[in-house]
Amino acid sequence: MEDFQSFKWLNQSGLSQSGGILTIKSHPKSDFFIDPAGAGTVHNAGYHSAAYFYTEAEGDFVLKAKVSHSFIGVYDACAFMVMGGDTTWAKLCFELTDIGTHSVVSVVTNGVSDDANGVDINGNTVYLQLVKKGGVFAMHYSLDGTDYKMVRYFSLPITGAFKIGLVAQSPLGDSAEFTFEEISLKYITVENMRKGV
């Protein structure tokens, strides 16, 4: 995917493009996260402030890309996000966790957010995939871009038009750069949500 003409910014940041490779710079202390512990917590300070490069869509889709970054600050992550509203979204992240791992992390927000560490990855690169079929979503990861494993399967009340795109976040740290390549966004309906095909 090399044509991003339909994409827009929420919390615009630095972006460079070389062919189909996008590099997005995060804002310091930026995130999309509504802490279930409430306002005023350290994780809630920048809950709606991360750089989000998105397009508007309706219906089913499959978004996938190879993602990477330097894992500088705790919770630094490149992510996919589908967003129905200010308090309704889901993120699939490749994140530096607070226990020092490079992990595929999922966050589902419906009023408040949850936070689930998934599989740990050796290295700074992984493939991510986010799928929508009706009101159901699935998240996957792959080490080779071919064999995808499920991270999460869930429903979220997102109907009609929504946003879908790429996030660069640094909730506790300074800005960093996050790379997305081999980006593919297809408006198709998969047969098997758990496998993403």
CATH at 17:
2.60.120.200
The verdict on residue 67 lying in a domain is yes
Domain membership of residue 74 as a residue range:
8-186
Average of per-residue pLDDT across 102-107 = 98
The pLDDT score that the predictor gives to residue 45 is 53
The pLDDT score that the predictor gives to residue 3 is 79
The verdict on residue 191 lying in a domain is no
Count how many domains the chain has.
1
Task: Say how many Å lie between the first and final Cα of the chain, rounded.
Answer: 19
What pTM does this model have? Answer: 0.95
Does residue 80 come out as left (phi exceeding 0), alpha (psi in the -120 to 50 range) or beta? beta
**Looking at residue 13, what DSSP letter applies?**
-
Q: Which of 13-22, 37-46, 50-59, 181-190 has the lowest mean pLDDT?
A: 37-46
3-state secondary structure of 42: helix
The verdict on residue 3 lying in a domain is no
The verdict on residue 91 lying in a domain is yes
The verdict on residue 148 lying in a domain is yes
The verdict on residue 86 lying in a domain is yes
CA distances from 97 to 3, 15, 77, 134, 149 (A): 32, 24, 9, 31, 20
